[in-house]
Every structure is written in C-alpha cells, then in structure tokens.
C-alpha cells in the first residue's frame, strides 16, 4: 500500500492506494492529459472507473502496459455492460 497525507487549501486529507493503482495513476499523469498540475486529483472510486472504461476516458494502452495491468478489450466491456 502507498499512503498519502497532505494539506490542500487548508484542509487535511489522506488516502492510500494499492501499488497497482498507484502505478496506474502515475502512468495516467505521464501519458494523458486527463489531469493537469492544477487539478485536485482523483476522487474515491475514480481509479476503478478509469480501469474499467479506458475506451470511454480515452486512456491509451501504454498506461496499462506501464502499470503491468491487462488492457480490457472492447468485447469484454460490452458484455459486462449488457449484463
């Protein structure tokens, strides 16, 4: 697990992520423009949505490759949404 702690705009905040999610988030910041330096970061549960719907969020396969995660196929996503 990776633990984060900080004070943003005068508010204390902390969170923790598993190493897979941490690698995934690092790769998103590196390879996409989803989040810039001025954004407030990701909300709880957002990483799960990004991982499950990369086509919707236009997340390139390199993000998954760099994080060591399998890239979900479009067929699998279509099957899950139909269920």
pTM of the model: 0.68
pLDDT tens per residue across span 35-71: 665 455 677 678 888 889 999 888 999 999 999 999 9
Query: Do residues 28 and 35 lie in contact, with contact meaning Cβ atoms separated by under 8 Å?
Result: yes
Structural domain spans, the chain: 20-82
pLDDT tens per residue across span 23-34: 988 898 888 877
What lies within 8 Å, CB to CB, of 83 at 6+ separation is: none
């Amino acid at each position: 697990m990776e633990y984060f702690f900080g004070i943003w705009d005068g508010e204390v905040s902390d969170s923790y992520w598993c190493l897979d999610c941490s690698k995934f988030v690092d790769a998103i910041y590196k390879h996409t423009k989803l989040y810039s330096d001025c954004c407030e970061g990701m909300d709880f549960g957002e990483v799960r949505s990004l991982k499950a719907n990369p086509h919707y969020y236009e997340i390139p396969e390199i993000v998954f490759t760099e994080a060591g995660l399998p890239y979900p196929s479009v067929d699998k996503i279509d099957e899950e949404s139909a269920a």
